Amino acid sequence: MEQQSNKIALYLLMFNMFITMGGIGIIVPVMPAYLQLFGVGGQVLGFLIAGFALAQFLLSPVSGDLSDRHGRKMFIVAGLVVYGFAQILFGLASEVWVLFLARFLSGAGAAFIMPPIMAFVADITTYEERGKGMGMIGAAMSLGFMIGPGIGGFLANVNLSFPFYLAGAVALIASVLSAIYLPNVKSTKTISAPREKLLKQLARSVKTSYFIFLIVVFTFSFGISNFQATLSLYLDHKFGYTPTDIAIILTVGGFAGVVLQMYVVNKLFKRFGEMKVILVNLLLAAVTMLLTIYISGFFVILVVATLFTIATTFIRPAVNTLISKLAGEEQGFAAGMNNAYMSLGNMFGPALAGILFDWNPDSPYILGTVVLVSCFILAFAWTSKRAAHLLKAY
């Protein structure tokens, strides 16, 4: 009975993550045309994405810690409600400052959805099945981001604001379903100490056994967000692609990533280990990002963007799995820190990418490549050092 309940919970958590990422993805192909209504460009887009990430950075550790103390369900439901209304507000906006407010609120909602969901998965899966559970959540994230742009691109032909209304309405429906059907799961560890402030939590994260993976999360999120934040603007600027063209490129890549994540990623983890999967795909992401500025032709761009998406699709669940396995009883704290470091990368990456794009459209991709290669070197050095240490001990 408990196993069946956990299975239902996992599917509902996947749906919630799908809705969250779908709401993010749905606006990507629409943004170049939507921001033209306000007379703004790449720099504002970068800061809008950074505002979303700032809210996640500030609130993810709070939601993760609170979910350890009070259970996961209430924060997931509340996050979906805030997220839903924020998406609707973005579509209703008539001033740029309202766009920033709506994106910050969207990030706040996502911050109370994502860490509790990742901690929830750890609560209802065994150590051996953790990779599979995280892979399924990762697949839901990728599927949402895949379908989102496709829906947004096609609906934009009718009304530029409608994709935001749809994303908000579906998030509110998901909150009702979660309130009714999601069980309330708490950490098995008794927590009596007062909740730490954000800076103290960040300082404590440095001493954890999984700190290296938090650094990987930050650096690869920084590099990847350069690509994701400016790709729609880049394709519109360089090739004059429409929202529908951009939606097709994003959708095909996302679909390939989801299929591989659902049926291949767990097998790769078992055969090669999560760390090798991370290293190989960091290199693939760096190479395909650099290629973006040298290629042309719809089909070639589609292939390169798809390879980039596949690489990032494999990295996320690998990192999430390693952090979760090393976190022990503090799953909420670890998930909160994971999301916080990811948000830091997603905050600085797009903000800098937007500024660089207005200066030189190629420059965000060069910077992103450098950051991804640096992340690979850091992870490889840590792996080599750990292997040498184990060999010496042996």
Q: What percent of the chain has pLDDT over 90?
A: 14
DSSP reduced 3-state for 41: coil
- pLDDT tens, position by position, 133-152: 777 787 787 677 667 777 77
Has residue 109 got a pLDDT over 50? yes
- Across 305-342, b (16+ Cβ under 10 Å) vs e yields bbbbbbbbbbbbbbbbbbbbbebeebbbbbbbbbbbbb
Has residue 217 got a pLDDT over 70? yes
CB atoms inside a 10 Å sphere around CB 365? 25
Average pLDDT over all residues of the chain: 80
pLDDT of residue 391: 38
- What is the model's pTM? 0.70
Residue 13 and residue 139 in contact, taking contact as beta carbons nearer than 8 Å: no
- pLDDT tens, position by position, 16-71: 988 888 777 677 677 777 777 888 766 777 778 778 878 888 887 788 778 777 77
Name the residue among 96, 106, 116 with its Cα closest to residue 22: 106
CB atoms inside a 10 Å sphere around CB 276? 14
Q: How far, in Å, CA of 302 to CA of 65, rounded?
A: 40
Instruction: Find the helix or strand (DSSP H, E) in which 301 lies.
Output: helix 298-327
- pLDDT tens, position by position, 111-124: 899 888 888 887 77
Q: How far, in Å, CA of 276 to CA of 134, rounded?
A: 17
- pLDDT tens, position by position, 280-337: 999 999 999 999 999 988 999 999 988 998 888 788 778 888 887 777 777 777 877 8
- pLDDT tens, position by position, 243-261: 778 778 877 877 787 777 7
